[in-house]
């Protein structure tokens, strides 16, 4: 399980990355992250929505209510141009952290 801080920091890049696969609604987005992380990334589900709404306000994503095949309405989210740009920046930052840590951990295998 991830720490609370790491979950908070990784939510935006995770949402942006899932949205590169195409538009999706909140519940399915959470399922996708759970499946990819093999259950290691667990969100308090309701907390995702304020994040999505904030991202929408920042023009990173856009949304639309549509009828789903179940007959109920669902709100679908889609990536915007600004979102793609933001994702690129996020990618660079996370890769920097990732590469630095892997280099360090390779140097001193005795640590583990």
Partner 1 sequence: MDDRSPNTHKTMETETKFDLNLAIRRWRDDLARSTAFRSENLNELESHLRDSIDRLRTPQLSDEEAFLIATRRVGNTQRLEQEFGKVNGAAVWFDRCLWILVAVQLWAFNASASSTLLSVASPVCVSLNEFLPVIGLPKMSQDWLQMVIAMIFSPIPIAFLAILVWCIFIWPKRKGMALVQKLLREPGKLALALMLLCLATHLVAMLAVSTWYYPTTFSNMGVRGLPWGWFLSRFPTAIFWAGLTYFIARKKLRSSAA
Choosing from 70, 107, 110, 112, the residue that interacts with partner 1 (CB under 8 A) is 70
- Binding residues for partner 1, total number by CB under 8 A: 20
Q: Round to the nearest angstrom and report the end-to-end CA distance of the chain.
A: 19
Choosing from 1, 6, 36, 47, the residue that interacts with partner 1 (CB under 8 A) is 47
Q: By CB under 8 A, tell whether 64 contacts partner 1.
A: no
Q: By CB under 8 A, tell whether 4 contacts partner 1.
A: no
Tell the smallest beta-carbon distance from residue 79 to partner 1 (Å).
18
Residues 72 to 91 in contact with partner 1, rule: CB under 8 A: 72-75
CB atoms within 10 A of CB 61: 22
8 Å CB contact between 18 and 34: no
Choosing from 4, 22, 38, 50, the residue that interacts with partner 1 (CB under 8 A) is 50
Nearest CA to 78 out of 97, 57, 56, 94 is that of 56
Tell the smallest beta-carbon distance from residue 99 to partner 1 (Å).
33
Q: How far apart are CA 37 and CA 32, in angstroms?
A: 9
């Amino acid at each position: 399980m991830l720490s609370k801080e790491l979950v908070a920091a990784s939510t935006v890049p995770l949402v942006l990355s899932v949205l590169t696969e195409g538009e999706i609604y909140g519940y399915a987005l959470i399922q996708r992250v759970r499946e990819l992380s093999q259950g290691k990334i667990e969100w308090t589900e309701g907390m995702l929505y304020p994040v999505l709404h904030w991202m929408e306000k920042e023009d990173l994503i856009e949304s639309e209510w549509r009828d789903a095949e179940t007959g109920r309405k669902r709100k679908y989210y889609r990536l915007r141009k600004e979102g793609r740009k933001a994702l690129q920046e996020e990618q660079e930052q996370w890769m920097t952290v990732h590469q630095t840590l892997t280099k360090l951990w390779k140097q001193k295998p005795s640590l583990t």
